[in-house]
Amino acid sequence: MGTPTAAARATQDSPAFRAIARTGYVVLGLVHIVIGGIAISLATGGGGDADQGGAMESIRQTLVGIPLLWVIGVGLLALAVWQIADAFLERDPDTKKRWAYRVKYLGTAVAYIAIAGTALVYALGGEADSSESTQALSAALLATPGGVILLTIIGLVVGVIGVVFIVRGVTKRFESHLALPDGIAAKGIVTLGVIGYVAKGVAIAITGVLFVAAAVTRDPEAAGGLDAALRALTQLPFGPVVLWIVGAGLVIYGVYCFARSRYAQMR
């Protein structure tokens, strides 16, 4: 048995680490609830940034903000390590599927690390503007040979991830990763998952569209993060209503994450 595999197995055999990783789902849910709440505020004429930075700033302003940000950072880092361990221990006999799952686990780990990093930056008194960072990245890419193509690819990949979330919600594929209880509780958790996955998928897909738009127009300011994607919804017919619905969906996804912390299969 190789060293990485042995380390991955030791991680997943640790009850203490498993408990911390489950905490990661709780804090992930909290972050989504705050982002969803800000999106609803925007839909009703309020302010704020409906993204990771805006969520962390809102949390920092609470009485327990700084300690909670540290909990968010540590919990999500633990969850990321768990995903990496899953990548090393993926047992599907089909080689293609095995590598597809590994890419998925590692990609999810990167996402968790990014959110954890944002939480820790705010815990240490700093700030992070995801829209400015995204636009800076887009500008840097557009200034390089082949940058338009690369930015388009990034946008398409992000868009596909969004579609995957939507499909996962509609088809209820996430159920296979849960050890659900019997009865009405299971139906409730699945309903939360369906709504939450679709809402999050819509937000991610629009983020991908903004990347593609930035590439096509060669305008880095057209790109943006989650906040820009959610604000873009207001440009649609009945935009504030659509934004309110997506914001509520993100809140529901957050509540689903709470349930996931209890019923996720932590093998």
- E-assigned strand segments in the chain: none
Tokens coding 244: 């309110």
Give the residue, 122 or 19, on which the prediction is more confident. 122
Question: Average pLDDT in the 134-142 region?
Answer: 79
- pLDDT for the residue 108: 87
How far is it, in rounded angstroms, from Cα 78 to Cα 8? Answer: 12
Q: Residue 177 is encoded by which pair of tokens?
A: 């990763």
Give the pLDDT of residue 1. 46
- CB 212 within 8 Å of CB 156: yes
Q: Is the separation of the CB atoms in 242 and 233 below 8 Å?
A: yes
The dihedral sign for the CA sequence 231, 69, 29, 133: positive
**106-132 residue pLDDT tens:** 888 888 998 999 899 999 988 876 666
The pLDDT value recorded for residue 195 is 95
| Average pLDDT value for the chain | 85
Per-residue burial over 171-195, b if 16 or more Cβ lie within 10 Å, else e, is eeebeeebeeeeeeeeeebbebbbb
Q: How confident is the model at residue 218 (pLDDT cuts 50, 70, 90)?
A: confident
Q: How far is CA 109 from CA 73, 82, 101, 171, 211, in A?
A: 13, 8, 12, 23, 22
Say how far apart CA 69 and CA 127 lie, in whole Å. Answer: 13
β-pair partners for 197: none
Q: Measure the CA–CA gap between 14 and 12, rounded to whole angstroms.
A: 5
C-alpha distances out from residue 23 to 76, 97, 225, Å: 8, 29, 26
15 pLDDT above the threshold of 90 = no
**pTM: predicted TM-score of the whole model, two decimal places:** 0.87
pLDDT digits (tens, 9 = 90+) for 47-81: 778 888 889 999 999 989 899 999 999 999 988 98
Instruction: State percent of the chain over pLDDT 90.
Output: 36
Is the pLDDT at 267 greater than 80? The verdict is no
Distances (CA, A) of 89 to 17, 99, 139, 219: 16, 11, 39, 42
- The average pLDDT across 171-191 equals 89
Burial 98-119 (b: 16+ CB within 10 A, else e): eeebbebbbebbeebbebbebb
Q: pLDDT band at residue 37, thresholds of 50, 70 and 90?
A: very high
Query: How much is the pLDDT for 238?
Result: 83
Distance between CA 103 and CA 228 in Å, rounded? 27
Cβ atoms < 10 Å from Cβ of 256: 27
Closest CA to 68 of 77, 76, 59: 59
CA dihedral 126, 52, 257, 89 (to 10 degrees): -80
